[in-house]
Structure 1
Amino acid sequence: MSDDTPVSEKTGLPVQSVDHDDSEKATPQSAEWPSGWIYRVRKLGPLTLPYYASPISQLLIVAFVCFLCPGMFNALSGLGGGGQLDPTVADDSTVALYSTFASVAFFSGTICNKIGIKATLSFGGFGYALYSASFLCYNHTGNHGFVIFAGALLGVCAALLWCAQGAIMMSYPSEHEKGRYISIFWMIFNLGAVIGSLVPLVDNIKKKEGNVGDGTYIGFMVLMGAGAVLALFLLDSNKIIRKDGSKVIAVQQPTWKSELGGLWEVLLTEPWILLLFPMFFSSNYFYSYQFNAYNLARFTTRTRSLNSLLYWLSQIIGAGLMGYGLDTTYLTRVTRARVGFVFVFLVTVGVWGGGYAFQRNYTRENVESIPKIDWHDDGYGGPLFLYMCYGLYDAIWQTYVYWIMGALSNNSRKLAIYAGFYKGIQSAGSAITFRLDSLKVPYINMFGSTVGLLLGSLIVASPLIFFRIKEHVAAADDLKFSDETQSVEKFEQRE
């Protein structure tokens, strides 16, 4: 570090630059561009590959880690009951998972900023393979406790993984690219669930009843383990340079004291974020209803596998449309935020209105007496389309929430804390709704609470969306929660 590198007066740590206009900034074509293989642009025939230290390269690594870990977990969860005919053990494990997830996620941003994104993401991937192994064990031993323990450990691991993922996805791209980066990640991540859904579909192609086979769980274990290893190929954020020469805002190796203090300071300097907390809570609340009260309750084993595949495939479509729409150059960022709000509100009413039309035809009490729907049955197309709409809706909701958070800041440290808040509160909602399912709450009550939370959370968030989103986040505003404004201004003047 040179003598004139700016440092934080509070932490004594170096502060990196942020997006700003600077005609002298280095680019990959200029002589001032850093040397080293991680910054070298390569050709593959007619294609120009991004350099390894570019935001898009790092995002792709993170996306494929999530493709292999939570993507496969989603494929397993999408079967309903974790692939078991009786959802009780999966419900209990999921409650443990999201309870520890919610607890750890609030501090995951602090942990991520302290130990680094690579270590955080790799450790986070470990718990997924153990979770799949616990269901394989349960198939043979009926060890309920091991499945619950694996779920609790996965909650810790997942909190760390999703915090690191959120920080990278929201802070690495430039402001005008955030929607596309979010959609690219979400599409690749959900492609993992699509391909993962092929594992149980092939393994259970002739099975209409019973638990999924051992091959399903073994396949998931291998793929999830590979994801944890892939995370080790990430670079630390201080090495990332955008193609315009700007760096990611990151404080290197902060102290635990400064990080824990930053958790509180974020709320003090950006209290508007509290208005997003109900949207965070609602963002996974509907999974219990969709997976267990809908897919598990009404379809045969093999049809559940097919439904799950098409559910996650619909998420790819939803993420692509929403992400690129939020980055359109035809509208200002403020207008995109407002139009996005109206769109999400209308989609919520439309999709869940269709869901009510289907739900009113059965209850938890009489569902066992109703024949389960198979893909060969007449009339299967309507319920399948509804489940695909549920998947489309999930991606639209998640993409919009991430984009709103990314529009509030470009600072990876602050966004790691935002991501921790998001995943923690989201997981609290999931823990509650899966516990409700475990307690056999009537399906219509679960449905009603889901819709009420979704619509209510949009209304609560509307003041932030309509009045807080700006066209650009200035560096001084972005870093004032750590008293680093003066240092950033000096840095920009020096450059």
Structure 2
Amino acid sequence: MSAAQESTTAVPAAGSPDESRVSDGTDVVDLPAGWRYRQRRIFGFNIPWYASPKTQLGMVAFVCFLCPGMFNALGGMGGGGKTDATLADNMNTALYSAFAVFGFFGGTFINKLGVKWTLAFGGVGYCIYAISLLASVHADVGGFNIFAGVLLGICAGLLWTAQGTIMISYPNEAQKGRYFAWFWGIFNMGAVIGSLIPLGENINVKSNSTVTDGTYIGFIILMFLGAVLALFLCNAGDIVRPDGTRVILMKQPSWQSELLGLWETLRFEPFVVLLFPMFFSSNWFYTYQQNAVNSARFDTRTKALNSLLYFLAQIIAAAIWGYLLDVDNLRRSVRAKITWVTLVVLTFAIWGGGYAYEEGYTRESVDPKLNPDFVSMDWTTDGYVGPMFLYIFYGFYDAAWQASVYWFMGALSNSGRRSANYVGFYKGIQSAGAAVMASLDSRKLSFKAEFISNWVLLSVSLVIAAPVIFLKIRDNVDVEDDLKGTDETIADVLPAGHPEKAVA
């Protein structure tokens, strides 16, 4: 179904003044009564109903625009905006360790508490994290910094699992790639705009120094607004797709049933464990890129510019990748194989260029304490263009990798409950990798060793994931398969008036 078909004007249902209907161009689908299911026309455009996948994904994207988007802008400068990355490394080790635990079980919390409260609580941790960094500029608050890292790990684990669940379970099978593109573009626009804050505040700072207080204050305010916005979301049980179907959920889940659901998810598709190395390596490279590349070589204003370009590249890559993943002319199983081959090519092309660049310096050679002659590179320095484009391609690669992983998971199931568990596994394992890498960086592992670990992990994980991608991704997932392990029936998820609904 096209976007134009999906956003047609609602008309009253025949014989039922309390219900509305939406036309998708071929059928007329009943929608429940209430303001959440009414379409409106604003400035000549048909706006999808409030409890539609498009509207809810847009709102989640803006929550992430304001919370993790700003966090990424701050972290993209390396060291959380501070000259010495040690404090940020220690905070991020605590953050991702907690993230790994709560991300792994995040699907359990979402299925029990709902996406709205999970996302709202998740947004709070980002504010506290930025506050602790601001406080550390003026006082020794190491305990508060570590607490903030742990709290953000808990909050982010829940927020990202809720976001991923929405992104891969709300749309129909033909739109999962473009839903990723919409989300990733809006989310990373937060990082782009967030990068303008330190760039504007530090436009004349050519030395490598800590960002200003105003930079941190701006991030704190925006992150708080993101947490508040999450309170206006609908829960998954209220969502109705344009074809009238609903998201598959567990009725009245208990903590026991949800913990059991983790095992049932693996039993449903045990081959998903072969994607775990891709999960593990998907945040491993951030520490290297932000600390060993951006923070190590460049002055403050150029770090901010690099971060801006990095996230702009992510938006472009998400748009390209998301829409290509949904190309109608190729079967989904064929698209999965092409995606895998393309990732292999990009891994060796982009990281091969990164190897040539990394050979030009060491951790010791860019440390002013050990090498007093070292001068940070500015955007006016000869030779800046090459590293700039490398960093842009690193951003492009990140979005391509994340889009592919989300799409692979989405191709395995349309169930909201099962998707929540898949995303929980993804975010938990991803964060475990990030925690390990942050810890290694805090112990001053050589830049070359960090680089090699990235290239090897990414390459090997693609090889391990190949059986899932080549053998297990089908052209479509049957509703009956998705209902296994839940107490939903076909009648609960089919649109009203569907010929199989009465039989079910």
If the TM-score is normalised by the length of the shorter chain, which range does it land in?
Answer: over 0.9
* RMSD of aligned alpha carbons: 1.8
Give, as a single letter, the amino acid of the residue that structure 2 aligns with 1:140: H
Give, as a single letter, the amino acid of the residue that structure 2 aligns with 1:421: F
Q: Provide the residue aligned with 1:140 in structure 2.
A: 138
Q: Does 2:415 match 1:425?
A: no
Q: Provide the residue aligned with 2:308 in structure 1.
A: 309
Q: Provide the residue aligned with 2:236 in structure 1.
A: 237
Give, as a single letter, the amino acid of the residue that structure 2 aligns with 1:338: K
Q: Provide the residue aligned with 1:268 in structure 2.
A: 267
Instruction: List gaps (5 residues or longer) in structure 2.
Output: 1-13, 15-19, 495-499
SS of the residue aligned with 1:120?
Answer: helix
Give, as a single letter, the amino acid of the residue that structure 2 aligns with 1:254: P
Does the C-alpha gap of structure 1 residues 489 and 397 become closer, same or farther in structure 2, counting only changes over 3 Å? closer
Indicate conservation of the 8 Å contact 1:477/1:485, yes or no. no
Q: Provide the residue aligned with 1:197 in structure 2.
A: 195
Give, as a single letter, the amino acid of the residue that structure 2 aligns with 1:96: A
2 CA distance for matches of 1:494 and 1:65? 41
Q: Does 2:353 match 1:363?
A: no
Give, as a single letter, the amino acid of the residue that structure 2 aligns with 1:325: L
SS of the residue aligned with 2:252?
Answer: coil
SS of the residue aligned with 1:481?
Answer: coil
Does the C-alpha gap of structure 1 residues 302 and 340 become closer, same or farther in structure 2, counting only changes over 3 Å? same
SS of the residue aligned with 1:28?
Answer: strand
Instruction: Give the length in aligned residue pairs.
Output: 472
2 CA distance for matches of 1:472 and 1:342? 21
Moved more, 75-84 or 257-266: 257-266
- For 1:167-316, what aligned pairs fall within 5 Å after superposition? 167-209=165-207, 210-316=209-315
Instruction: Map Cα deviations across residues 351-393 of structure 1 (whole Å, 9 max, x no partner).
Output: 1000001000111121223322101112111110100100000
Indicate conservation of the 8 Å contact 1:300/1:372, yes or no. yes
Task: Give, in angstroms, the shift of residue 77 of structure 1.
Answer: 0.5
2 CA distance for matches of 1:460 and 1:168? 27
Give, as a single letter, the amino acid of the residue that structure 2 aligns with 1:426: Q
Task: Give, in angstroms, the shift of residue 45 of structure 1.
Answer: 2.4
- For 1:337-416, what aligned pairs fall within 5 Å after superposition? 337-368=336-367, 369=371, 370-416=374-420
Does the C-alpha gap of structure 1 residues 357 and 31 become closer, same or farther in structure 2, counting only changes over 3 Å? closer
Q: Provide the residue aligned with 1:97 in structure 2.
A: 95
2 CA distance for matches of 1:42 and 1:483? 35
Q: Provide the residue aligned with 1:328 in structure 2.
A: 327
Moved more, 477-486 or 459-468: 477-486
Task: Give, in angstroms, the shift of residue 403 of structure 1.
Answer: 0.3
Give, as a single letter, the amino acid of the residue that structure 2 aligns with 1:50: P
Instruction: List gaps (5 residues or longer) in structure 1.
Output: 1-23
Q: 2:476 aligns with which of 472, 483, 492?
A: 472
2 CA distance for matches of 1:267 and 1:128? 31
SS of the residue aligned with 2:360?
Answer: coil
2 CA distance for matches of 1:264 and 1:132? 36
SS of the residue aligned with 2:103?
Answer: helix
2 CA distance for matches of 1:304 and 1:98? 23
- For 1:101-112, what aligned pairs fall within 5 Å after superposition? 101-112=99-110
Instruction: Map Cα deviations across residues 156-193 of structure 1 (whole Å, 9 max, x no partner).
Output: 00000001101100000000000000111011000000
Indicate conservation of the 8 Å contact 1:115/1:253, yes or no. no
Greater relative contact order (Cα < 8 A, sep 6+): 1
Instruction: Map Cα deviations across residues 192-218 of structure 1 (whole Å, 9 max, x no partner).
Output: 000000111111111123100001110
Moved more, 296-305 or 139-148: 139-148
Indicate conservation of the 8 Å contact 1:288/1:434, yes or no. yes
SS of the residue aligned with 1:43?
Answer: strand
2 CA distance for matches of 1:456 and 1:31? 47
Instruction: Map Cα deviations across residues 245-299 of structure 1 (whole Å, 9 max, x no partner).
Output: 1111112331111111111111122111100000000000000100000000000
Q: Provide the residue aligned with 1:45 in structure 2.
A: 43
Instruction: Map Cα deviations across residues 60-103 of structure 1 (whole Å, 9 max, x no partner).
Output: 00000000000000000000000000001000000000000001
2 CA distance for matches of 1:145 and 1:294? 28
2 CA distance for matches of 1:406 and 1:372? 43
Instruction: Map Cα deviations across residues 317-373 of structure 1 (whole Å, 9 max, x no partner).
Output: 011110000001121101100000011110111110000010001111212233221
2 CA distance for matches of 1:248 and 1:146? 40
Task: Give, in angstroms, the shift of residue 428 of structure 1.
Answer: 0.4
Does the C-alpha gap of structure 1 residues 204 and 264 become closer, same or farther in structure 2, counting only changes over 3 Å? same
Task: Give, in angstroms, the shift of residue 486 of structure 1.
Answer: 7.8
Q: 1:124 aligns with which of 98, 122, 125?
A: 122
1 CA distance for matches of 2:274 and 2:39? 42
Instruction: Map Cα deviations across residues 135-158 of structure 1 (whole Å, 9 max, x no partner).
Output: 110011132221111011000000
SS of the residue aligned with 2:80?
Answer: helix
Q: Provide the residue aligned with 1:77 in structure 2.
A: 75
Does the C-alpha gap of structure 1 residues 105 and 31 become closer, same or farther in structure 2, counting only changes over 3 Å? closer
Moved more, 230-239 or 366-375: 366-375
2 CA distance for matches of 1:262 and 1:484? 14
1 CA distance for matches of 2:483 and 2:278? 25
SS of the residue aligned with 1:111?
Answer: helix
1 CA distance for matches of 2:350 and 2:140? 38
Moved more, 274-283 or 247-256: 247-256
1 CA distance for matches of 2:159 and 2:246? 23
Q: TM-score, normalised by structure 2?
A: 0.91
Identity across aligned pairs (percent)?
A: 55
